[in-house]
């Protein structure tokens, strides 16, 4: 078991899947996403994250670009259609047959010097334990100042009533399947991907509301229970590593000393805590044989 696998506390995955079989990886990612709902619900007591500097490293050589992190985040955090807290930058350059394809997964950078936190007039956007950038829905007045100052465009504003899909009456098969709104009715008004665990870390965070903003929270509801964010847990290629920068023995600290890391828009001085190492380069992929 390598360092990043050890770091996946609470994970029931842990398989390493080679880049050669993208189809297999995609299937594994989806399987992981749907299995994910069974892992939550361990109470709200939580662990103290005081004194920690939580960060994520994304190993681009391991990343296969399967998008499993995007699906996982949506399911776990009840992210509505048309919104992605976990996303990616895709770049294609060159001329056929000498093409280069790059895939860079993205999310809130949980910046140490977060402009969104500094600018928020109500302290709805704030720094939580472990240095996570969090948002309190009840304090948010929807002024969107945070969205304007975030250089990474990871804050989404709900200008319309969220979860439109779940209010629809369309059925896939007439006289056979239920419509989305019928499903919601059967679930006593909760949309099917509603996650009550989110309420434990911040009241009102389990659902989305019109007129306020939302973004990645590093799955703080899981991290407080000693787990890792779900995108880390469910990444079938183990490309995501999460841990404490203040702990020299953590997997993130070790990987950051082994490779030369870089961060998005580093020149802006926001001190992002999402680090990238190595390159997305499937043509020259080298197995790391269980080591970092
Ligand atoms: Fe704030 Fe944007 Fe930095 Fe996230 S990436 S902490 S939303 S400034
Ligand atoms: Fe703060 Fe909400 Fe305004 Fe953003 S939209 S700056 S979180 S009050």
Give pLDDT tens digits for 214-251.
999 999 999 999 999 999 999 998 999 999 999 999 99
Cα 121 to its chain centre, rounded Å, is 26
User: Nearest residue CA, atom 6 of ligand 2?
Assistant: 120
Cβ of residue 120 lying under 6 Å from some atom of ligand 1: no
Q: Cα(17)–Cα(238) distance, rounded to whole angstroms? A: 8
For the CA of 215, the closest atom of ligand 1 is 7
Which are the contacts of 161, defined by CB distance < 8 A and separation ≥ 6?
A: 167, 210
pLDDT at 212: 94
pLDDT tens string 197-224: 877 777 777 777 889 999 999 999 999 9
Q: Is 106 in the pocket of ligand 1 (CB under 6 A)?
A: no
pLDDT for the residue numbered 46: 57
Q: Which residue has the higher pLDDT, 291 or 187?
A: 187
Asked whether the CA dihedral 48, 79, 264, 32 is positive or negative, the reply is positive
Report the pLDDT value the prediction gives residue 194, as an integer from 0 to 100: 77
Return phi, psi of residue 3, to 5°.
-60, -45
Mutate to test the pocket of ligand 1, among 110, 157, 220, 263 (most ligand atoms within 8 A of CB): 110
> Distance between CA 214 and CA 85 in Å, rounded?
8
Nearest-CA residue for atom 2 of ligand 2? 140
Residue 13 to residue 68: CA distance in whole angstroms: 13
- For 111-158, write each residue's pLDDT tens digit: 999 999 999 999 999 999 999 999 999 999 999 999 999 999 999 999
Taking the C-alpha atoms of residue 115 and residue 85, their distance in angstroms, rounded to an integer, is 18
Candidate from 114, 119, 120 with most ligand 2 atoms within 8 A of CB, to mutate: 120
Q: What is the mean pLDDT of residues 190-194?
A: 74
What backbone phi and psi angles, to 5 degrees, belong to 213? -105, 170
Indicate whether 96 pLDDT > 60: yes
The response to whether residue 87 sits with its C-beta less than 6 Å from ligand 1 reads no
From the CB of 270, is ligand 1 less than 6 Å away? yes
Angstrom distance (rounded) from CA 266 to CA 151 = 11
d(CA 142, CA 126): 15
Residues in contact with ligand 2 by the CB-under-6-Å rule are 120-122, 124-125, 135, 140-146, 212-213
Nearest bound ligand to CA 119? 2
Q: How far apart are CA 58 and CA 277, in angstroms?
A: 6
In 3D space, the residue among 209, 232, 41, 45 whose CA is nearest the CA of residue 135 turns out to be 209
Q: Give mean pLDDT, residues 51-74.
A: 94
> Which-ligand-closest: CA of 155?
1
Q: Which ligand is nearest to the CA of 136?
A: 2
């Amino acid at each position: 078991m390598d360092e990043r696998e050890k770091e996946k506390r609470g994970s029931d995955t842990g398989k390493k899947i080679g880049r050669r079989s993208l189809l297999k990886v995609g299937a594994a990612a989806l399987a992981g996403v749907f299995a994910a709902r069974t892992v939550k619900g361990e109470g709200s007591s939580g662990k103290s994250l005081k004194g920690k500097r939580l960060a994520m490293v994304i190993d681009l050589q391991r990343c296969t670009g399967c998008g499993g992190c995007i699906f996982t985040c949506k399911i776990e955090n009840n992210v509505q259609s048309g919104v992605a807290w976990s996303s990616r930058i895709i770049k294609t350059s060159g001329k056929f047959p000498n093409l280069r394809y790059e895939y860079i997964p993205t999310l809130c950078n949980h910046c140490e010097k977060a402009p969104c936190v500094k600018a928020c007039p109500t302290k709805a956007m704030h720094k939580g334990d472990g240095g996570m950038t969090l948002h309190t829905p009840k304090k948010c007045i929807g002024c969107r100042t945070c969205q304007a100052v975030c250089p990474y465009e990871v804050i989404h504003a709900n200008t319309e009533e969220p979860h439109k899909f779940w209010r629809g009456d369309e059925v896939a098969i007439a006289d056979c399947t239920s419509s989305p709104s019928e499903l919601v009715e059967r679930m006593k008004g909760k949309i099917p991907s509603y996650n009550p665990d989110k309420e434990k870390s911040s009241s009102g965070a389990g659902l989305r509301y019109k007129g306020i903003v939302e973004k990645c929270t590093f799955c703080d509801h899981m991290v407080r229970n000693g787990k890792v964010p779900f995108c880390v847990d469910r990444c079938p290629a183990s490309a995501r590593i999460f841990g404490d920068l203040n702990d020299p023995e953590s997997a993130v600290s070790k990987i950051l000393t082994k490779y030369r890391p870089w961060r998005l828009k580093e020149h802006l001085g926001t001190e992002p805590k999402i680090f990238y190492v190595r390159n997305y380069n499937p043509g020259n992929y080298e197995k790391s044989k269980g080591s970092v």
